[in-house]
Structure 1
Amino acid sequence: MDDLLTSPLHDRHVALGATLGEFGGWSMPLSYPDGTVAEHLAVRGAAGVFDVSHLGKLVVAGPGAAEFVNRCFTADLGKIGPGHAQYTLCCTESGGVVDDLIVYLVGPDEVLAVPNAANSAQVAELLRAAAPEGVTVTDRHTERAVLAVQGPASAEVVTSALGGIDLGGLDYMAFLDAQIDGGSGVRVCRTGYTGEHGYELILPNDGAGPVWDAILAEGAAPCGLAARDTLRTEMGYPLHGQDLSTAITPVQAGSSWAVGWDKPEFWGRDALLAERSAGPVRRLRGLRATGRGVPRPGMDVLRDGERVGVTTSGTFSPSLKTGIALALIDTAAGVELDDTVTIDVRGRALEATVVKPPFVATHVR
């Protein structure tokens, strides 16, 4: 993995005994010695911290930068004000999803876009190609760290770790900029990818180590990307490349809520409007196993012996202690919520109930 990018916290992960793996071109911690289940339950019960510095950081700036971004991505930036963030989608003209990302509205002339690691360069290229004169797209991917502190105790952990920062008035998907010890600036946004109350901290690389240490000192468990995956799957949050892709549209994936349908312009608008009007040929559903077995991505879903879909994500749920999956189900098959289907787990039939995610109660707001 010598040719992979590394987080500014890489040495700390190694010292903690993390198992490292490739993710989006980066060497990132997958788990720590206590294991994925313990990390998952720490986030659900108290607090955990994830190093997600592999996420992209694109600064779009210049006259009318926010209006420009709003003409590109699906969600309506006009519905939020400066100091707030928004989940949105970068789509192809045919309606497929290049990436799902968070955008931070700093002001009318500046937006910070946070795409997934593997897609960051492509999103930057698309924005640069479309940008009007005076609007620049600057890639800060390797200059900033991102830490996600998640769980019921996350507010107390972040407050103490950042020297008593006041988070009391920070609403869901709102952010603030602050100075911390040593003079480093940190952007704190009340968001995350776990379904729990949480915060994502964006800060310069040289300030990441002391903040990570302070968060651990406050009792947060270090958590890897494996636990991030089980947590987000329990919430039904999509993972790009599996539940969303250039071949899976937001209409199919149940992400229509992230589309500003009344906007006059965004990439893929005509195709998505047509698909919404006609109805998608498949829809993303949740599957909760009723037997013993763990579904994984790419497994056939059957009803009465006939293939009706395929799993896109699948894992063991530490909260429910059973297998769960997200699956694209053919709409023509007439599969409804609460129906029983089977998942072909390497030649063995695993019964599952069709459900609407999330699989567990959300605490995010």
Structure 2
Amino acid sequence: MPELKQSPLHDRHQALGAKFAEFGGWSMPLQYAGIVAEHKAVRDAVGIFDVSHLGKARITGPGAADFLNRCITNDIAKIGVGQAQYTLLCNEAGGVVDDLIWYWLADDEIFLIPNAANTAEVVELLAAAAPDGITVANEHDDHAVLAVQGPSSDETLAALGLPVGHDYMRFAPSTLDGVELTVCRTGYTGERGYELVVPAADAGKIWDAVLAAGEAYGIAPAGLGARDTLRTEMGYPLHGQDLRPDLSAGQCGVGWAIGWKKQSFWGAGALRAEKAAGPELRLTGLLAQGRGIPRPHMEVVHDGEVVGEVTSGTFSPTLSKGIALALLPPALVPGTAVTVRVRNREEPFDVAKPPFVTPGVREA
């Protein structure tokens, strides 16, 4: 088994007493003080995550944006330079190779953040399809990414003189202590927040500065365990569980990230055919009506028959009950009573439409 890669902030996490786990081939902090405490810090105040395991890639050359638009599902016509967009890279069957965010730096320069485990494949696929004059470079190890998330994220970053208040999915270049970085109004928690893309060599300096600035606002270092409970409360899908190459994007509940009016994108034929026929299964939410805590691959039962399975499941610290994402027949609308087989017991759940909590991500 190959040795796990380490974040440029690994020593900071060790000093904070982090418990580590494997994420996409990287050894990353799972938790520090505890998942519930870190989750609540993000919902109530501000948390800082190291998400440097996420991939980084750059597309450069004349027509870079048009080239990318022929590959990804979303439509670049919806945004402009200085904005970011969530999108999918699909295979010809419409399955999700990866979901990613791309940043439109200039007409001839695009910055991508794929998922950690998929970065090499995304770069390889795009590079193989790129016409002459366009370069796709893997910059996975060149940058660190720090996510500052929560209601007090603006105050924390403003205390450092960093730009805040820009619209959701926009970004702004800046400098902190001589370090050039990018402040992106993005995140994976459902809370108002930002992601800082910084040179890997300067990650420690920026991490320390944000923690110091946020002390007055109750900042807490948060691990990827809390990031998972936060994103599940929002109904945000995770690649490898809720999104997979063997599941169509139409089934995964991310049809809103498909530019249906575009002439072409990878997987367009299969996805359009499925949309016309209607998917057999669709990703939706489940809300516990008892004490059951769902986990991935648990069976969902309706009228005595297994009708689907949990793809993501956890305990919601905000609601103090179990929540899940599950692949179910579209006929099971929100409010339908089902059961989930939890440790040989059938626990009661209701089908529910995510998010399970009120998001603050788009608040001005």
Aligned to 1:238: 237
CA–CA distance in 2 between the matches of 1:263 and 1:107? 21
Asked whether the equivalents of residues 47 and 148 of structure 2 are also in contact (C-alpha less than 8 Å), the reply is: yes
* Runs of 4+ with deviation above 3 angstroms: none
Q: Amino acid of the residue matched to residue 361 of structure 1?
A: T
Quote how far apart the aligned CAs of 1:213 are.
Answer: 0.9
SS of residue matched to 1:148: strand
CA drift of 1:2 comes to: 8.0
Q: Which residue of 2 aligns with 1:360?
A: 357
Distance across 2 between alignment mates of 1:203 and 1:110: 17
Q: TM-score with structure 2 length normalisation? A: 0.97
Alpha-carbon distance between aligned partners in 2 of 1:336 and 1:81, rounded to the nearest angstrom: 37
Match of 2:206 among 193, 207, 211: 211
> Which digits, 9 at most, give the CA deviation of each residue in 1:156-182, with x for residues without a partner?
11222xx312323x110000111221x
Q: 1:180-191, aligned counterparts within 5 Å?
A: 180-181=176-177, 183-191=178-186
2:100, 2:163 → 1: CA distance? Answer: 27
Contact 2:163–2:183 (8 Å) recurs in 1? no
Match of 1:46 in 2: 45
Partner of 1:177: 173
Q: What is residue 10 of structure 2 aligned with on the other side?
A: 10
Q: Deviations over 1:15-36 (max 9, x none)?
A: 100000111000000000x200
Relative to structure 1, the CA distance from residue 92 to residue 354 in structure 2 (aligned partners, 3 Å threshold; closer, same or farther) is: same
Residues paired across the two proteins, number: 358
Q: Pairwise mapping of residues 218-257 of structure 1 onto structure 2 (< 5 A)? A: 218-219=214-215, 220-257=219-256
Give me the whole-angstrom Cα distance separating, in 1, the residues matched to 2:264 and 2:2.
43
Report deviation, 1:121. Answer: 0.4
**Aligned amino acid, residue 162 of structure 2:** I
- Amino acid of the residue matched to residue 30 of structure 1? L
Residue 163 of structure 2 corresponds to which residue in structure 1? Answer: 166
Name 1:136's counterpart in structure 2. 135
Task: Show structure 2 runs of 5+ residues with no match.
Answer: none
Q: For residue 154 of structure 1, what is the aligned residue in structure 2?
A: 153
* Partner-residue secondary structure (3-state), 2:271: helix
Residue identity matched to 1:189: C
State which drifts further: 219-228 or 38-47: 219-228
Measured after TM superposition, the shift of residue 293 of structure 1 is: 1.7
State, as a whole percentage, how many aligned pairs show the same letter.
60
Distance 1:60 1:193 in 2: 24
- TM, length-normalised to structure 1: 0.97
* Residues in 1 aligned to 2:341 and 2:10: alpha-carbon distance in whole angstroms: 38
Give runs of aligned pairs for residues 319-358 of structure 1, distance below 5 A.
319-331=318-330, 334-358=331-355
